[in-house]
Amino acid sequence: MSVRITVHAEEFIAFMKSEPERAKAVLRDWQQQGSRETEQQMSLFAPIRTGTYRESIGSRFTPKGFVTYPNVDYADIVEEVTGPHIIRPRNAKALRWFNEAGAQFFAKKVEHPGTAPQHVVKRTAEQMRGVLGYLYRRIWETHH
């Protein structure tokens, strides 16, 4: 999921065409500041059970903007609903976990009841849509 911002201002379009170097600077500044703010917002929505999901959040720049995403293999499971399923160990003989009191448990398999969706990426996109538009305009004005 990504956020798309469309601008229909004649003055802005004329600026972008007439001063390509300045337009590149605006985009670069927006990519840097916007991705940082989007990562911070996504971190606020991220689950905090272990912190791994939150720590994996990063961004990459694209020709027209940036993409911010959690970089863990279970991100889609956190984002969407999962039904009941069985969990088995991949690289060990048994699963191991600790309860709230600190007692250790082992099992060859666990019947997981499923999870509710957390929509971390979706909620971040909704939250940042207006913020990123405002940020772009503010950066454009400082370069103009």
Contact 68, 77 (CB under 8 A): no
Provide the domain count of the chain: 2
The residue range of the domain holding 44 is: 10-79+116-143
Token digits of residue 36: 């940082």
Same domain, 59 and 126: yes
Per-residue pLDDT of 37-95, as tens digits, reads 999 999 999 988 778 999 999 999 998 889 999 999 989 888 888 899 999 999 999 99
Same domain, 16 and 55: yes
- Give me Rg for the CA atoms of the chain: 21
Same domain, 47 and 86: no
**pLDDT of 3:** 46
DSSP 94: S
Binned at pLDDT 50, 70 and 90, residue 19 comes out as confident
Binned at pLDDT 50, 70 and 90, residue 13 comes out as low
Per-residue pLDDT of 103-115, as tens digits, reads 999 999 999 998 8
Neighbours of 83 (CB within 10 A): 8
Same domain, 124 and 104: no
**pLDDT of 2:** 43
